[in-house]
A = this chain, B = another copy of it.
């Protein structure tokens, strides 16, 4: 049994500075040696913090859905000089980050899908919904959408991206992810910590500054629960860890392998459901980012930008312009309190761009029935990802 992490695990090379934002949200700077002290004060006039919405049980499917009405007002593609993730002073208005520079910074999302409850109200729902709360039918279970949503700015450089960052900075991002995973895992309401990056307007990104997000969920999301169920079945029938067996098959077969390091390998999964999809997995059975050794983090700081860089070379440039791949990078970690001995950390990176000018849409079969159809053979994806190595 691998225990849940209980202590922060920031490496000595990163300095952590905790501050409060104007509305009480927490902001944490992760800085490399030589950075200035982080002491700036957030002097903006901000309204009250968003309350947790309503987490409702979908009796038809067994899923929990967060109803978060306050999020429909969130910031949508602001002009570059009003970027809320750039340091304050670079734009026309104070940003979410009071400092004039930073290396990596994490702060609580102003428009959270899951939030700490600070009062006993029914959250941020409209009056119609609140009135309906007398309807406590046994099938209509609901509870506060407790948890926490954080933003992770990877760099203060608005024009950068993970693939263009030096490994030292990527290493600091990894430290931040690991620390957040450790700390959020200690919160009573949190059952799962999910670090991810959405990139590209094609998948709805509303802020272009290079950043990711962390959702600390109060339950196991559907995919997490599904993977846990499968991993447990495999462990019960074989005594082995499913993720480790899948990696062994891919390393032996070879046709879907993308890259192999000393501590990490990347491959396209046998049943890839997206037109571009690749998994990056550690060679060791590791439950989450916090459990990675220093050597594993060091190699990841090189391999992760290499892998994402290949996505931007995946489709040949058109008229001299590279095709910047939109993607979702999803770090699947072990749940906080259960199944840690059978769950295995892995990164799933995937894209909806099925050709330089066409998207895969999730229409009737995928969104309606949940049945996936992929027009691209996984072996072809892997071959292309091998070709475009740097």
Residue positions of A touching B, CB distance < 8 A: 56-69, 71-72, 76, 113, 125-126, 128-129, 131-132, 135, 137, 139-140, 142, 192, 194, 196-198, 203-205, 213, 215, 217, 221-227, 229-230, 234, 242-243, 245-246, 249, 253, 255-256, 269-273, 328, 330, 332, 348, 350, 354-355, 358-365, 367-380, 383
Contact = CB atoms under 8 A, between A and B. Distances in A.
A194 B370 CA distance: 11
Given A132-B255, A135-B253, A348-B368, A374 B67 contact: yes
A381 to B, nearest CB: 10
A129 B354 CA distance: 18
**Which 6 pairs, one residue from A and one from B, show the smallest C-beta to C-beta distance?**
A204-B361, A330-B368, A222-B370, A223-B370, A221-B371, A196-B364
Contacts of A222: 369-371
A65 B380 contact: no
- Among A198, A243, A370, chain B packs the most CB atoms within 10 A around the CB of A370
B139 A60 contact: no
Contacts of A61: 223, 226-227, 230
A270 B61 CA distance: 12
A347 B355 CA distance: 33
B197 A374 contact: no
A358 to B, nearest CB: 7
A221 B362 contact: no
A379 B215 CA distance: 26
B126 A379 contact: yes
